[in-house]
Amino acid sequence: MVAAPMPAARATPSCVIGVDLGGTKLLAGVVGPDQAVRHRVRRQALGLDQARLMAVIVEAVEEVRAAASDEVAAVGFGIPVTLDRRTGTAAYSTHLPLAGVPFAAVMSERLGVPVAVDNDGNCAVLAEARHGAAAGADDVVMLTLGTGIGGGLVLGGQLQRGWIGAGGELGHMVIDFDGPPCQGNCPNRGCLEVMASGSALVREASLRVARRPDTALGHALEEGRELTGPFVTELAHDGDPVARDAMHAIGRALGVGLSSLVNVLNPEVIVIGGGVIAAGEMLLGPARAELQARALLPARDAVRVVPAAFGEQAGLVGAALLARESARAAA
């Protein structure tokens, strides 16, 4: 985590804002002591240059701050970057123009409150390990499946960030060394992200519908419907064979990644979050089957693979938890 506290907090830590910035969208909301999210707003982040992206972030925070019932004590951000704790800067981002930005310092100056910043996957696993689907477990892995795949680790009850803060990039674990090029600025091929994310679901559906156009998905595309992850998921729930086959394919790819995580880390719980988890057992079923076929005993049979309790709000809630800690430290 990178924190940029102000000289003194202006309010008690009861009212904080959490912000989850993903590859395509931003969620911001006021989060109470009970972890309930209030006054949530959503913004698009895709395709913005750095200046506009930073402005949109500030605008979203100010909108939810104006709706808060109490003065906001701090703001927490989960952002899809590798952070360098030595300099406090965002070092690398696959999808967004944030490299080189001292994000905590900039946002604290613009917002006038203490700011805490961490990787979005770290925020998500913090929320689920403390208050969500993995509450009570000391060894937790989380994957957030959206445009890309974020990751977070809690081991021995402690959030693990690596030596300089750049660890936990589980989405960039290679599961097919000869696979498709990864997304955005990633120099690799066959990363879990490019094989099992929402973007991968769209790619798999597109490849399959070209061979089987006489389906509900094919007819919808002929009528001009945009091919998106949520739309493929909706049709999969409705029984469309192409959509279900695409979902099964990325579920299997996810399971390959999970088996490696189980073999290396022996977690008690693996939490799957992000927008793609709306597919439920259509995704998790093939993933668990692949894990069972590949992982080693006894860890294979001991691990639980579960959906996130906070859904797509896990990163937002985790960022708010960091904000609350920052506000206490600055008080």
- Average pLDDT, integer, range 208-215: 94
pLDDT of 273 reads 93
pLDDT of 260 reads 98
Confidence band of 275 (pLDDT split at 50, 70, 90) = confident
Residue in 275, 191, 270, 274 with CA at minimum distance from that of residue 233: 275
Q: Is 326 helix (H, G, I), strand (E, B) or coil?
A: helix
Q: What ranges do the domains of the chain cover?
A: 2-125+313-330, 136-308
Reply yes or no on whether the pLDDT at 7 is more than 50.
no
Same fold across 2-125+313-330 and 136-308: yes
Q: What tens digit of pLDDT does each residue of 24-36 get?
A: 889 999 998 888 8
How far is residue 110's CA from residue 322's CA, in Å, rounded to a whole number? Answer: 19
How far is residue 283's CA from residue 249's CA, in Å, rounded to a whole number? Answer: 9
Q: What tens digit of pLDDT does each residue of 43-100 get?
A: 998 889 999 999 999 999 999 999 988 889 999 999 999 899 888 899 988 889 998 9
| Cα–chain center distance at 286 | 21
CATH superfamily, region 2-125+313-330: ATPase, nucleotide binding domain (3.30.420.40)
Q: Which fold has domain 136-308?
A: Nucleotidyltransferase; domain 5 (3.30.420)
* Cross-sheet strand order for the sheet of 140-145: 158-159, 149-155, 140-145, 269-273, 304-307
Question: Cβ(312)–Cβ(27) under 8 Å?
Answer: yes
Q: What tens digit of pLDDT does each residue of 280-305 get?
A: 999 999 999 999 999 999 999 999 99
Share the mean pLDDT of the chain: 92
* Neighbour count for residue 223 (Cβ, 10 Å): 7
Confidence band of 322 (pLDDT split at 50, 70, 90) = very high
